[in-house]
Amino acid sequence: MTRLISYGRITTAAALIALVSTPYRMIGQASSDSLRQADGIYRAGIAALGHHDLKTAQADFEQVVRMLPRAEPGHSALGLVLIDLGHLPEGIHQLELALSLKSTDSGAQLNLAMAYLQVGQAEKALPLFAELEADARIHKHSLTSSVLAAYARALAATGKLGPSALKMKAAIQAEPRSAQLHDDLGSIEAQQKDWGSAQREFSRAVQLDPQAAGPHLHLGLALQAQGQSGGLDELLKAQQLAPDNAVITLELGKAYAAAGQDDKAIPLFQQLLDNNPDAVDAMYELSLAFQRSGRTQEAIALLRRVLKAQPGNAIAAANLGMALTQAQRAKDAVPVLQHAISLAPDSVTAHEDLAAAYVQLNQFDDAETELHMALKLAPERPQLHYDLGLAYKMQDDANHAIPEFEAAEKLDPDQPEAPYALGLLYLQDGRYQDAARELKTSLTLRPENGEGWATLGSVYNQLNQLPEASAALLEAIRQVPRQPDPHLTLANVLIKQHKLDEATEQRRLAANLMRSNMNQQRAEVATHSGESLIKSGDLAGAIVQFQNALSFDHNYAEAHQGLAQVYEAQGKPAAATAERAKAAQPQP
């Protein structure tokens, strides 16, 4: 999940007040004249700082430090200015010097803690915040909400989420209408996986500042983490409020992808890459979206770029290997997937993907080895058992395939593939009752399978369950009306039921379909011949072949399109238009 807490520096008026009110004390052998001169320069620097003239303030405080290197206020003031100017290492050094000279300088403590937090050294900030809190307790006053919030962020950055939440709640108690503080508390609770509390805080932040993009982003992510509706809408609001924010755009794209809307995710990922061609996260997400959308070659190119930037990314390597396999380039996929496994030996997905590549190469023994290794890592994953059963089935090894399909079905009884495969194998073994049971189970889970209904009808016919056979075959005919075999099988069933006229009608329909299918095959062959003749420049011969195709099937669209191409080449636009119109007509 996206990191939800920002750790930026907080400007505090208290630090400036501390500088203004800090008197000099005599250091070493400094003369009263030099001390008065330094004091004047120091006050001039404070005045410049009050007018936001940071460069002048820097020059004044640097002069003070040169004149009185052992005086703490000059280092403290110079450190604050340098940090405001963005010179963090130099500013931190000056603040550390100030505290080495006077460890109780609360202004230096506060600004150094903030600076540590800004440069990602939260562990160093914690003791400083603790000292500030102890000092406030001694003097019977509370830390300001901004300091409490910074303390909370430092605790969160070091993994101390419980104490961090308590500090942030104290900050909110001091400033209850701060949308930022509610958003920060929600972020801490999100890191604790307390999604309900996080959602409430993000919702409160949205109410207090509906134009702030961050709370909408965080509320959207919290809703998604809980599987609740509305998350995508919140992410969309965040992106509309901050269209140039790369983090928000990335999260919105990922949300669209998770919702199966890659058509909306792809433009967002592409936008991120257009703005920053080296954005690896966007590059990776775009490659996955391309892969899911069938744009395999584009996915392969992007995944190669991801791996170039992150050669140790095992997940990206596994995805690249699978994309290569999907592109029928299993030979190229194998070394990529072997590399993925070398990076992550316990990656079940990488072993499974490598097995798929081996299957494509007809290396079934290697595929079985990979699947056995995957099953050692995840024995309860039904897809692995199904894949292993399929590998055995492709080698006609029913004895080993059947137990794997049975295991897959037992582990996930809601998937239709394993019972369908079992039904076919039982049918091959003559186990008709078992075959009928498994095929019926599969078709109940996925009814749109015309071939499956035809097979089930044949099995019921073998079992002499004639009404069941008729129902299954009629469903097959409904789903695949141009296939003659279900009609022939149904004719046999009807004969057994002594319905001879109906059986004759089914045989007539089957004969017509066989004749039609044969003519369509002849039309396809003649059309391919015509297309070849066009490429060789024999337009007259091509016309003969396309006309032959149409003599077999006068509705064959590809033949009409071929004729249109020839007529166009011969300068007969009217004839070409007429053929294209015929090609566009609905097929009977």
Question: Are 559 and 524 a contacting pair, CB within 8 Å?
Answer: no
Buried b (16+ CB within 10 A) or exposed e, 237-254: bbbebbeebebbbbbbbb
The amino acid that residue 94 corresponds to is Q
Inform me whether the pLDDT recorded for 2 exceeds 70: no
- Whole-angstrom CA distances from 348 to 40, 288, 375, 396, 406 are 72, 19, 8, 26, 21
Sign of CA dihedral 375, 377, 379, 381: negative
DSSP character at residue 414: T
Quickly count: other Cβ atoms within 10 Å of residue 509's Cβ: 18
Q: How far apart are CA 43 and CA 36, in angstroms?
A: 11
Inform me whether the pLDDT recorded for 446 exceeds 70: yes
- pLDDT tens digits for 103-143? 998 989 999 999 999 999 999 999 999 999 999 999 899 89
Inform me whether the pLDDT recorded for 25 exceeds 70: no
The amino acid that residue 541 corresponds to is G
Q: What percent of the chain has pLDDT over 70?
A: 94
Give CA 287 to chain center in angstroms: 10
Helices 398-411 and 382-393 meet at what angle, rounded to 10? 160
Burial (CB < 10 A; 0-12, 13-18, 19+), residue 137, is exposed
Inform me whether the pLDDT recorded for 264 exceeds 50: yes
The pTM (predicted TM-score) of the whole model is 0.72
Tokens 């001039």 — which residue? 44
Q: How far apart are CA 440 and CA 435, in angstroms?
A: 8
- Whole-angstrom CA distances from 68 to 49, 58, 74, 97, 106 are 20, 15, 8, 13, 20
pLDDT at 584: 86
pLDDT band at residue 26, thresholds of 50, 70 and 90? very low
Tokens of 432: 């008709």
Which domains are assigned to the chain?
1-131 (1.25.40.10), 380-446 (1.25.40.10), 514-584 (1.25.40.10)
Question: Are 205 and 220 a contacting pair, CB within 8 Å?
Answer: no
- pLDDT tens digits for 28-86? 444 577 888 999 999 999 999 989 999 999 999 999 999 999 999 999 999 999 999 99
pLDDT at 35: 86
Buried b (16+ CB within 10 A) or exposed e, 451-482: ebbbbbbbbbbeeebbebbbebbebbbebbee
Q: How far apart are CA 216 and CA 16, in angstroms?
A: 34
Average pLDDT over residues 449-453: 96
Give CA 173 to chain center in angstroms: 38
pLDDT at 400: 96
Q: What string of DSSP letters covers 103-117? A: TT-HHHHHHHHHHHH
Rg (CA), the chain: 38
218 Cβ neighbours under 8 A, 6+ residues apart? 4, 183, 186, 187, 190, 198, 202, 205
Question: Are 214 and 184 a contacting pair, CB within 8 Å?
Answer: no
Q: How far apart are CA 117 and CA 184, in angstroms?
A: 15
Mean pLDDT, the chain, integer: 92
pLDDT at 340: 97
Q: How far apart are CA 497 and CA 471, in angstroms?
A: 14
Question: Are 126 and 154 a contacting pair, CB within 8 Å?
Answer: yes
